[in-house]
Amino acid sequence: MIEPFWLRKKARIALNLIKSPFVRRANNIEVYKANLRDKRGIEIGGPSSVFNEKGILPIYSVLGSLDGCNFSSQTIWEGKLKEGWRYNYQKDKKPGYQYICEAVNLSPIPPEAYDFVLSSHSIEHIANPLKAISEWKRILKDDGLLLLMVPHKDKTFDHNRPVTSLNHLIEDLENDVVEDDLTHLPEILELHDLRKSPEVGDYASFKKRSQDNYLNRCLHQHVFDSKLVLEMVKYMNLTIITVDFVPPYHIIVLAKFKR
């Protein structure tokens, strides 16, 4: 069940980020806009305030159309969702189609359906990131684009955890790790800095929420820095167009997929 406190907390954080005069912007915003302008895409998770006009990478306004995908009809971040033409990512844009399915299994979507895929702060919640990217590539057209935004661990509640290795991600792919995997739970319970996520409550509440991760997907299954993100993108045979780091913790990569 959705925790109302979580929803209120998330909404306040998002609103404060949007209103703050100190929100930093990505470098080369026009490069992102030029590559995505008037194109058709899908966002994994979201909608994301980072992509609106007052966000760090304001690209929603230039998109031709945008569908969305969430893992469940009820999430901590978006509340209740229904599949259909309900993906409202910007007020002056026609709603896109809201899919309810796993990011690693977009079976309702045919191959080569989209010009681009957006993913903001979602891949760290996925137990098998390379499987997810492989599936995102499946639905991309030739020369399709992937825009990834990933948190750098150093300024997050993951700062005590070691960066995941690329070899570990490859092993997860080869072993077909599924989304109910709790391999990293002991490390998370030991090293997660609760001082940086007070909204989760005390340790007992955090442990209970973490054990229920398949239902809520709150865990950061893997821990990233800029090096790992670039290694992961290159391993998946994507050509990097541009890379950004926006303090305090946003790693941004725009890459192209060539069939």
C-alpha 7/C-alpha 25 separation (Å) is 26
Question: pLDDT tens-digit profile of 211-255?
Answer: 999 999 999 999 999 999 999 999 999 999 999 999 999 999 999
Taken in order of first residue, the domains within the chain and their CATH numbers are 4-151+224-257 (3.40.50.150)
CB atoms within 10 A of CB 216: 20
The pLDDT of residue 23 is 65
pTM exceeds 0.85, yes or no: yes
Which pairing describes strands 74-75 and 40-44: parallel, antiparallel, or unpaired? unpaired
Structure tokens at 27: 């470098």
Partners of residue 250 on adjacent β-strands: 151, 246
Residue 21 has φ and ψ, to the nearest 5°, of -75, -5
Query: From the centroid of its chain, how far is CA 217?
Result: 12
Among the listed residues 48, 57, 49, 51, the one whose alpha carbon sits nearest the alpha carbon of residue 24: 57
DSSP collapsed to 3 states, the chain = CCCHHHHHHHHHHHHHHHHCCCCCCCCCHHHHHHHHCCCEEEEECCCCHHHCCCCCCCCHHHCCEEEEEECCCEECCCEECCCEEEECCCCCCCCEEEEECCCCCCCCCCCCCEEEEEEECCHHHCCCHHHHHHHHHHCEEEEEEEEEEEEEHHHCCCCCCCCCCHHHHHHHHHCCCCCCCCCCHHHHHHHCCHHHCHHHCCHHHHHHHHHCHHHHCCCCCCCECHHHHHHHHHHCCEEEEEEEEECCCEEEEEEEECC
129-138 vs 166-174: helix axis angle to the nearest 10? 70
Contact 120, 51 (CB under 8 A): yes
Tens of pLDDT, residue by residue, the chain (259 residues): 334 333 334 433 333 333 344 568 998 999 999 999 999 999 999 999 999 999 999 999 999 999 999 999 999 999 999 999 999 999 999 999 999 999 999 999 999 999 999 999 999 999 999 999 999 999 999 999 999 999 999 999 999 999 999 999 999 999 999 999 999 999 999 999 999 999 999 999 999 999 999 999 999 999 999 999 999 999 999 999 999 999 999 999 999 998 8
